[in-house]
């Protein structure tokens, strides 16, 4: 892929690591972005790295009306020796193509796009923070930009990658959060778009999230869209339980998003020779496990927070206090191992690190 590079004439001052630790997630963006265009018959073309700035779209652009829009999220880290690395970008690109397929968006060249992202990150090297728990969040997305109001797949698309230096997702460190089990709204159904990282899924979840916040909970636990019985995910994270000595997570069923952190947790747990079970688990089974004292830990897993311990779950009138509201041993151990690999302070036994420079 040939990439044209146009450097900004007005570089911004990158916030200091201290400032990054205090700005909200995803509010500040680096100086440049990557873009390329797609036209039917021509394919992806015009790859370029240009100054970060507003996009120009027709008001009739397809994505603005019918939501043909997908995204990804991954991170780059600065290591102690000054190298810059990304965590499992191949997995994000493979998932992006799955999302593309579901939303009638043309496939991207996973290897070439990974290289283009690495090039952008390299150009923005100075934007990669180095303080503990900081990273450069990478947001690739594809939007349908053909100007028409008919409901059919767009004939043109724009692929964009923007970068945002971020601190830890939870400012107070690895703090257990309170989760509300959603019994009214649904996030996704089998046959729907739950497994795709498409914009509409998140718009549809905002009301549930807002109502949970009003009740004093930080996120919701989603149950299946048909029966509101089987556990799916927590907010925009996958969910794990430690029941007795087994790590349990809902199996991928078409409505759950296949997280790369989820996949990494499973591989790490297996490497520890600890039992792991990907299976259907109902909220009633979970309550049984809780009541018999077998539910030892609950945590969410996703790129933004990596591991997010859950200290309380509320389902209807049942309030489950998990591990006395404290971080569980396995949650902490997984957090240390995965963030250690990400920042190259622990051995990359699995080959997950992609070196940018």
Ligand X SMILES: *Cc1c(COP(=O)(O)O)cnc(C)c1O
- Closest by CA position to 141, among listed 208, 93, 87, 189: 93
Which residue from 89, 106, 129, 259 is in contact with ligand X, where contact means CB under 6 A? 259
Which residue from 121, 257, 327, 330 is in contact with ligand X, where contact means CB under 6 A? 257
- Closest by CA position to 303, among listed 19, 18, 76: 76
Q: Which is nearer to ligand X, 301 or 327 (CB)?
A: 301
Tell whether residue 236 is a contact of ligand X (CB under 6 A): yes
- Find the binding residues for ligand X in span 15-74 (CB under 6 A): 73
Compute the least distance from the CB of residue 196 to ligand X, in Å: 9
Gyration radius of the chain's alpha carbons: 21
Q: Which is nearer to ligand X, 134 or 261 (CB)?
A: 261
Residue that has been written with the tokens 């992806």 in this structure: 44
- Closest by CA position to 14, among listed 234, 165, 236: 165
Tell whether residue 164 is a contact of ligand X (CB under 6 A): no
Tell whether residue 260 is a contact of ligand X (CB under 6 A): yes
Which residue from 261, 308, 323, 331 is in contact with ligand X, where contact means CB under 6 A? 261
- Find the binding residues for ligand X in span 72-131 (CB under 6 A): 73
DSSP alpha helices (H): ranges in 239-302?
A: 260-271, 283-291
Tell whether residue 303 is a contact of ligand X (CB under 6 A): yes
Question: Which tokens is 258 given?
Answer: 């296949």
Please identify, among the stretches 133-141, 146-154, 256-264, 314-322, the one whose residues bind ligand X according to the rule CB under 6 A. 256-264
Tell whether residue 135 is a contact of ligand X (CB under 6 A): no
Entry field: residues in the chain: 357
3-state secondary structure 18-67: HHHCCCCCCCCCCCEEEEEEEECCCEEEEEEEEECCCCCCCCCEHHHHHC
Interacting residues with ligand X (CB under 6 A): 73, 197, 233, 236-238, 257, 259-262, 302-303
């Amino acid at each position: 892929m040939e990439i044209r590079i146009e450097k900004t004439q007005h570089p911004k001052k990158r916030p200091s690591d201290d400032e990054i630790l205090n700005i909200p997630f995803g509010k500040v963006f680096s100086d440049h972005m990557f873009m390329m265009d797609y036209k039917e018959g021509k394919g992806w073309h015009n790859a370029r790295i240009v100054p970060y700035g507003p996009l120009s779209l027709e008001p009739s652009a397809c994505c603005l009306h019918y939501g043909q829009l997908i995204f990804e999220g991954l991170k780059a880290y600065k290591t102690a020796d000054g190298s810059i690395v990304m965590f499992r970008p191949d997995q994000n690109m493979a998932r992006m193509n799955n999302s593309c397929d579901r939303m009638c968006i043309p496939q991207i060249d996973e290897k070439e796009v990974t290289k283009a992202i690495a090039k952008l990150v390299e150009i923005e090297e100075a934007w990669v923070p180095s303080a503990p728990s900081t990273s450069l969040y990478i947001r690739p997305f594809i939007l349908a930009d053909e100007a028409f109001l008919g409901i059919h797949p767009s004939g043109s698309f724009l692929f964009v990658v923007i970068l945002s230096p971020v601190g830890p997702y939870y400012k107070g460190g690895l703090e257990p959060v309170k989760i509300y089990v959603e019994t009214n709204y649904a996030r996704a159904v089998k046959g729907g778009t739950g497994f795709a990282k498409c914009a509409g899924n998140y718009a549809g979840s905002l009301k549930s999230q807002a109502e949970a916040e009003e009740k004093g909970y930080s996120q919701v636990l989603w149950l299946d869209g048909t029966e509101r019985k089987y556990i799916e995910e927590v907010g925009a994270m996958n969910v794990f339980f430690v029941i007795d000595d087994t790590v349990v997570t809902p199996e991928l069923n078409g409505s759950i998003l296949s997280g790369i952190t989820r996949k990494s947790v499973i591989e790490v747990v297996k490497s520890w020779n600890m039992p792991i079970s990907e299976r259907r688990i109902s909220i009633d089974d979970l309550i049984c496990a809780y009541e018999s004292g077998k539910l030892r830990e609950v945590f969410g897993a996703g790129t933004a927070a990596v591991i997010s311990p859950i200290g309380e779950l509320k389902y209807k009138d049942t309030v489950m206090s998990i591990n006395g509201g404290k971080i569980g041993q396995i949650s902490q151990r997984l957090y240390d191992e995965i963030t250690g690999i990400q920042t190259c302070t622990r051995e990359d036994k699995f080959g997950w690190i992609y070196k940018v420079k």
